[in-house]
Amino acid sequence: MWKSITSLNSYSSVLNLVFPSDCPVCNKPSDLYKTSPVCLSCWQKIQIHDGKGCRICAAVTDYKSTGVCQECRFIKPVFERILSYGVYEGVLKEVIHLVKFRRIRRLARVLGTELLHLDTPDADLVVPVPLSVHGLRKREFNQSAVMASVIAVRRGIRLDITSLVKVKDTCPQSTLSRIERRENVRGAFRVSENLKGKHVILVDDVVTTGATANECARVLKKAGAVSVVVICAARAKNI
């Protein structure tokens, strides 16, 4: 696991001069590890997604299963499957919050490097889940696009950050029920290019119910994409 981020090691000393001296997760003195400002001890506590659970949506459950969850049996998702680096709780949840709300962009690159370990299929395009114009202006960068760029460069796949766009602002998904989340993102995305025959890797930071990923996959396939595989930094336990 740690070999995946050795390329970032040379920056650690410099970064420690820029970032706080204390780890923002445990508040203990940070170190010169590749994941600065998060210390090595905290990073090692991230719960890696072990691949158990629903083989389509990667739903994290309290029981071990490699079958299909009830939700996917009832309403088959548009995407082929979801692959996740970790579980959205504990340290990983805090890391993602550091990226999104404290704008520590470098940690998004570290997460993108970790996504390289996932058994993703060959693809023609790597596409990040987009932010709206207002959302991008507020956050300053799209963390999913940062992760997607790492994957595209390392795997030699074309990065496409323009075809899939978010055309309307939506309420925060975290405040909504499963059904409300589906309605919230309906019509929120549009594809501006012809993607006929393309196999797409769709990148997101967190998947909770899969509503956003499913809506993105729907419009990507409407534009001609043959397949959409979703990869994410964290998969939440079902709500």
Say yes or no: 154 and 176 in one domain.
Answer: yes
pTM across the whole model = 0.87
H or E element, residue 217: helix 211-222
Handedness of CA 219, 221, 224, 228 (dihedral sign): positive
pLDDT score of 7 more than 60 = no
Say yes or no: 37 and 68 in one domain.
Answer: no
> Which CATH number fits the domain that encloses residue 176?
3.40.50
Say yes or no: 40 and 130 in one domain.
Answer: no
H-type alpha helices, 88-171: 90-101, 105-114, 133-139, 143-155
pLDDT for 86-124, tens place per residue?
999 999 999 999 999 999 999 999 999 999 999 999 999
Say yes or no: 114 and 32 in one domain.
Answer: no
Say yes or no: 97 and 9 in one domain.
Answer: no
Three-state secondary-structure class, residue 229: strand
Say yes or no: 17 and 71 in one domain.
Answer: no
pLDDT for 51-81, tens place per residue?
888 999 999 775 556 688 888 988 899 999 9
Say yes or no: 26 and 70 in one domain.
Answer: no
DSSP lists the bridge partners of residue 201 as 126, 229
pLDDT score of 14 more than 70 = no
pLDDT for 164-202, tens place per residue?
999 987 766 666 667 777 777 888 899 999 999 999 999
Say yes or no: 159 and 41 in one domain.
Answer: no
Number of domains in the chain: 2
Bridge-based pairing of strands 189-191 and 125-128 is: unpaired
Confirm if 116 and 150 have CB atoms less than 8 A apart. yes
Say yes or no: 152 and 133 in one domain.
Answer: yes
What contacts 94, CB < 8 A, 6 or more positions away? 24, 25
Say yes or no: 204 and 140 in one domain.
Answer: yes
DSSP assignment of 131-146: PPHHHHHHHSS-HHHH
Please give the pLDDT value at position 17.
47
Nearest to 84 by CA among 109, 106, 60, 63: 60
Task: Please work out, in degrees rounded to the nearest 5, the angle formed at the alpha carbon of residue 116 by the alpha carbons of 235 and 3.
Answer: 110
Show the domain range for 6. 1-45
Say yes or no: 201 and 223 in one domain.
Answer: yes
* Averaged pLDDT, 35-40: 88
Say yes or no: 6 and 107 in one domain.
Answer: no
Read off φ and ψ for residue 236, nearest 5 degrees.
Answer: -80, 155
